[in-house]
A and B are shown apart, each in its own frame.
Chain A
């Protein structure tokens, strides 16, 4: 049984496949298929590429005829709709337009008027989604798959590895993890969760046998202006970045579900977020901006363990 780490870059993040296969040839074949699958999803749903399908959807904004989407996109839109309902409207893939005014690289906080101007374009409730047609009624509206396509990709790649006969492995797409299978001896993958304020340290070490773990944090893409941190997760109702929680990690049967849960928790904020997670029933780790740690995964806190993803 060969074990190998295959690093690559995709979806703007450093990714890594931890694969175990019976032959180098098999391992290489699966790794290529996996990397190709992530590349396919990136090409299809990236908002940064003009030729992506996501850009085609966005280009159709204002056109009453809308666009007919393929089954995969349809299922992703169904999922976005479901998450929007379950989060009480906080998980909203139409909120991407806010990034036009929240340019994290410039370090500039937008004026309230700029955010107000975008308000008519935000709201999944305004999008007309009737499978397989999606209509963005107002020009300038945008759908942003970036909030969950990476987690979806992790699950798809893990499933792909299993379909190819691999029974052990871990897929890591920039911190969104999906397990192919535990180690050959049945032992779990030891996953380190990064400390939100200490880049090199792990705040906890979680044993993962199956399913996935996703982490949302205010440190991933943020800007610091006058000592105040502005995260990249934006509340669709207020137009402002989330506050209260520094990072949320959730474990679930699928990385996608874990990612949705962690994002929704971040959006709900310091008090409502953890309470929502506890009611949801998934194991989680929450660190608020004051450094308080909570959640069932917090029992695995190993401040000295500085080896993330060690096998």
Chain B
């Protein structure tokens, strides 16, 4: 439980402590780059999550949806 709280604080610090600057719509050139996306390649992300999920206990975590499988 303590580790859970520690991870939570880390995530919160990451979000808050960095001092977010408001980026104007015309300054979004870098953010629009495909390599700045959360999942630059959807196919690869899906495959990778599927492979790891079928070999490990943890959930793939990025969001809900997607099917199950009888993975051995």
User: Who on chain A is nearest to B25 by CB?
Assistant: A253
Interface string of B24-45 (1 = CB under 8 A from A): 1111111000000000000000
Partner of B24 from the list A179, A186, A212, A253 (CB cut-off 8 Å) is: A253
Shortest C-beta distance, B65 to chain A (Å), equals 29
Q: Does A161 count as interface, using CB distance less than 8 angstroms?
A: no
Structural contact, B25 and A211, CB atoms closer than 8 A:
yes
Are A209's CB and B29's CB within 8 A?
A: yes
Of B25, B27, B29, B30, which is in contact with the most chain A CB atoms at under 10 Å from its CB?
A: B29
Q: Is the CB of B26 within 8 A of A186?
A: no
* CA of A209 to CA of B29, assembled, Å: 6
The yes or no answer to A182 lying at the interface (CB within 8 A) is: yes
How far in angstroms is the closest Cβ of chain B from A279? 16
Taking each of B24, B26, B27, which has the highest tally of chain A beta carbons within 10 Å of its own beta carbon?
B26
Would you list which residues of chain B between 1 and 53 have a CB under 8 Å from chain A? 24-30
Q: Which residues of A contact B27 (CB under 8 A)?
A: 209-210
State in angstroms the CA–CA spacing of A253 and B26 once bound together.
5
Which of these, A210, A212, A251, A252, contacts B29 with CB under 8 Å? A210
Q: Is A251 a contact of B26 with CB atoms below 8 Å?
A: yes
Of B24, B25, B29, the residue contacting A182 (CB under 8 A) is B29
Shortest CB-to-CB span from B35 to chain A, Å, is 12
Please name all residues of chain B whose beta carbon is closer than 8 Å to the beta carbon of A252 when the two chains form the complex: 26
Using a CB-CB cutoff of 8 Å, which residues 88-106 of chain A contact chain B?
none
A181 at the interface (CB under 8 A from B): yes
Who on chain B is nearest to A208 by CB?
B26
Residues of B at the A interface (CB closer than 8 Å) are 24-30
